[in-house]
Structure 1
Amino acid sequence: MKKSLMALSSVLMLGSVASAQKVNFEEHTLDNGLHVILHQDKSAPVVITSVMYHVGAKDENPERTGFAHFFEHLLFEGTANIKRGEWFKIVSGNGGTNNANTSDDRTYYYEVFPSNNLELGLWMESERLLHPVINKIGVDTQNEVIKEEKRFRVDNAPYGNLFASVKENIFKKHPYRWATIGSMEHLDAATLEEFQAFNSKFYVPNNAVLVVAGDIDFAQTLKWVKQYFGPIPKGAEVKKETFVEEPITKQINATYEDPNIQLPMVIQAFRTPSMKTRDAKVLEMISSVLSDGKSSRLYKKLVDEQKTALQVGAFNNSQEDYGMYVIYGLPLSPATSEMITTSVDEEIKKMQTELISERDFQKLQNKFENQYVNSNSSIEGIAENLATYHLLYGDINLINTEIEIYRSITREEIKEVANKYLKPNQRLLLDYVPAKDKAQN
């Protein structure tokens, strides 16, 4: 009887969570093509103004990689009405914070302000779009900033080139094959006119979505949006090129030497489908079973029981066109990379031949319910989710319905998807090793 009451309590709790987390929003499209999404949350006197542009590393010229990430920095330099170096002072001086980030698929800017500074946030983002100043001093300054970022995060960081090494080996045609941070040589060689042309092409209202969320009044917010963004001219249509990769049918073997490490790492990587597919969501669940936390299968087997790995993990990196499923392990001497690979293969084989237990399946469902709740627990999270679902998925309603897809995934489906994508002849096997003069004695 006690167990029955606990089960009933859990069902009721999950139902109330799903209901409480429903995100309501309004959508509008301005004459210049800018899509506008408004979400009201009166729980705190805070607002976020954010703009997501449908431009990322995959939209770059192969001879000019790094432009999208460069613009993440460059468009903070100033505008016709915001002097150089004043952007961050204005934000912090009015009680706000701001940031930006870039992926292979999109670039995202946002400000969080007290709600009485909503108009300021809208004006600043409209200024970034309408009056950016792209000149030599700004380009030269940010070029040095990005070189330092690359030195710190990539060139001198242990395992800093891991992701780039996987990408360049697993993609042959698609622009996902180069690193988001790009090539410093390409940036050095670019002319000011090339930077200006990139801005004119991609940073236009019809290639963006504006999300305003928080303690707002819908009518007043829409009035300000039209006032500040309405006059911005529509840009030329941004045509996206399609790149189709041939299926991987034979194991790819590669080696990368890293001068910043002493311990080798062995990596398996599989090319996977677009994040918009159901299979991508199943792969996320598979990743959770294999390597999410110390109770995961790979951690328990390789770290706790066999003591052959210092660290092991897996993640499914889903993107707009393709994804990558990556499994990595650090052998613990005297274990070898080959031993790690064999043990990982055994666990993948179990996923392919055996249904996960009902108990593990329930834990998995609970974990994804919790992730869903957390992803929409702040206005910052809601704003980015609204922008992402509209711009990259083409279905903004997924902010409320995607959890139903995860709930509908079955144990049988998990086994089928593991069989479909995690085959040895469809993988990259990458030995990520110390440079010869750095190898552990």
Structure 2
Amino acid sequence: MKKRLLSVAAAAFFGMALNAQQIKFEEYDLPNGLHVILHQDNSAPVVTTGVMYHVGAKDEVKGRTGFAHFFEHLLFEGTPNIKRGDWFKIVSSNGGQNNANTTNDRTYYYETFPSNNEQLGLWMEAERMRHAVINQVGVDTQREVVKEEKRLRMDNQPYGNLFTTIQKNLFTNHPYNWPTIGSMEDLNSAKLEEFQAFYKKYYVPNNATLVVAGDIKPEETKKWIETYYGSIPKGTVYPKDFPKDAPITQEKEVTATDPNIQLPAYIFAYRTPGNKEKDAYVLDMLSSYLSNGKSSVLYKKLVDQDKKALQVAAFNQGLEDYSIFAFFAIPMGQTTKQALQSDIDAEIKKLQTTLISEDDYQKLQNQYENQFVNANSSIQGIAASLATNHVLMGNTNLINKEIDIYRGITRQDLQNAAKKYLNSNQRIIINYVPEKK
């Protein structure tokens, strides 16, 4: 009886937490196509203004990769009304913080200010959208910044080019083939006019979503939005008709070298559905079952019990058009690749032939409930989630409803996904080994 009472209490707690988690928002479009999302939360005197552009590395062309990420840096150079070098000074001197980030699918810029500076954040992002200054001085400066970032994060970092190697081998036609940071050779050879053309093509209001979240007065915010953004000219939004990759039907094995590592890593990578598909959620849950935490299946077996692996993971990288599901393992001692592969394949086989236990299934559900309760704990995080759900998922309200998708995943769904996507003839094996000296 005591255990039953505890279960009821736990359910009640989660019920209250989930109700409190509901994020209220309003969304509408300006005549120029800019999508606006407003979220009012007056519990703390802060406001985040974010703009997400539906342009990422996949929108580039071969020979001119790295543009989307480059613009993440370039568009802090200034505008006719913000002097070069003043962007960060304006933000910090007004008690704010700002940043930007780029993926294969989108680019996101944001400022978080005390709420008495909400208008400043709106003005700055409108300046960026309306008439960012793109000149040779800025291009030359940011080229060096990006080169240093690539050296620091990838070229001189152990396993720094591993994900790039996965992309290059999983995708042959689709532009997920190259990394977000792109090629330094491409950036070096690009002319100023090409950067200016990229800005005119993608940094238009009807290719953008503006989110304002926090301590706002919605009617006042709407007036400022109309003042700053309403007269920005509409652009042409081009269809995202990217070449598709044929299904992988035969196992392929490749070898890549890294001068910064001493231990090899072995990757077993699968191309899976884009993140709007239900199966992408199922595969995400499968990856958690396999390697989320020290009690997960792969960690317990390969690291804890058998001590065959120094590290092991299964991860699901959700992207807009496709996703990537991959196993990653670094061997311990004299463990061979074949030994790791056999054990990983054995766990895949179990998933394909036997339903996971009710206890393991409930543990998974509890993990996702907990993640949901803890997600969006800051205004900055809520703003990013609202923008992402609209731009990449086509449904802003997933910020409230995504948990229902995970709740609806059954043990049979997990088994079916393993049977459908995790077969040996559907994968690329990558031997990521130390470079011989």
Q: So what's the TM-score if we normalise by structure 1?
A: 0.98
Match of 2:175 in 1: 175
Distance in 2 separating the partners of 1:73 and 1:186 = 16
Match of 1:361 in 2: 361
Q: Which runs of 4+ in 1 moved over 4 A?
A: none
Distance in 1 separating the partners of 2:243 and 2:20 = 41
Match of 2:234 in 1: 234
| Greater alpha carbon shift after TM alignment, 193-202 vs 345-354 | 345-354
SS at match of 1:81: coil
Distance in 2 separating the partners of 1:239 and 1:198 = 15
- The AA in structure 2 aligned to 1:300 is K
| Partner deviation per Cα, 1:69-109 (whole Å, 9 max, x = no partner) | 00000000111100000000000000000000000000000
Q: Do structure 1's residue 295 and structure 2's residue 295 form an aligned pair?
A: yes
Match of 1:70 in 2: 70
| Greater alpha carbon shift after TM alignment, 341-350 vs 95-104 | 341-350
Distance in 2 separating the partners of 1:318 and 1:21 = 24
Distance in 2 separating the partners of 1:373 and 1:379 = 15
Distance in 1 separating the partners of 2:189 and 2:128 = 25
Q: Do structure 1's residue 273 and structure 2's residue 273 form an aligned pair?
A: yes
- The AA in structure 2 aligned to 1:200 is K
Distance in 2 separating the partners of 1:215 and 1:203 = 27
Checking the alignment, whether the CA contact within 8 Å between 2:59 and 2:175 is kept in structure 1 is yes
Q: Do structure 1's residue 376 and structure 2's residue 376 form an aligned pair?
A: yes
| Partner deviation per Cα, 1:193-246 (whole Å, 9 max, x = no partner) | 000000000000000000000000000001101111111111122321232211
Checking the alignment, whether the CA contact within 8 Å between 1:81 and 1:131 is kept in structure 2 is no
Tell me by how many angstroms 1:46 deviates: 0.5
Match of 1:95 in 2: 95
Q: Do structure 1's residue 204 and structure 2's residue 207 form an aligned pair?
A: no
| Greater alpha carbon shift after TM alignment, 354-363 vs 175-184 | 354-363
Q: So what's the TM-score if we normalise by structure 2?
A: 0.99
Distance in 2 separating the partners of 1:186 and 1:44 = 45
SS at match of 1:280: helix
- The AA in structure 1 aligned to 2:42 is K
- The AA in structure 1 aligned to 2:138 is G
| Partner deviation per Cα, 1:340-398 (whole Å, 9 max, x = no partner) | 11111111111111111111111100111111122222111111111111111111121
Match of 2:12 in 1: 12
Q: How many correspondences in the alignment?
A: 437
- The AA in structure 1 aligned to 2:324 is M
- The AA in structure 2 aligned to 1:283 is L
Match of 1:304 in 2: 304
Tell me by how many angstroms 1:314 deviates: 1.4
- The AA in structure 2 aligned to 1:184 is M
SS at match of 2:392: helix
Distance in 2 separating the partners of 1:369 and 1:321 = 27
Distance in 1 separating the partners of 2:260 and 2:289 = 31
Q: Do structure 1's residue 34 and structure 2's residue 23 form an aligned pair?
A: no
- The AA in structure 1 aligned to 2:240 is K
Gaps of 5+ in 1: none
| Greater alpha carbon shift after TM alignment, 178-187 vs 380-389 | 380-389
Match of 1:399 in 2: 399
Distance in 2 separating the partners of 1:335 and 1:291 = 19
Tell me by how many angstroms 1:185 deviates: 0.3
Distance in 2 separating the partners of 1:251 and 1:336 = 19
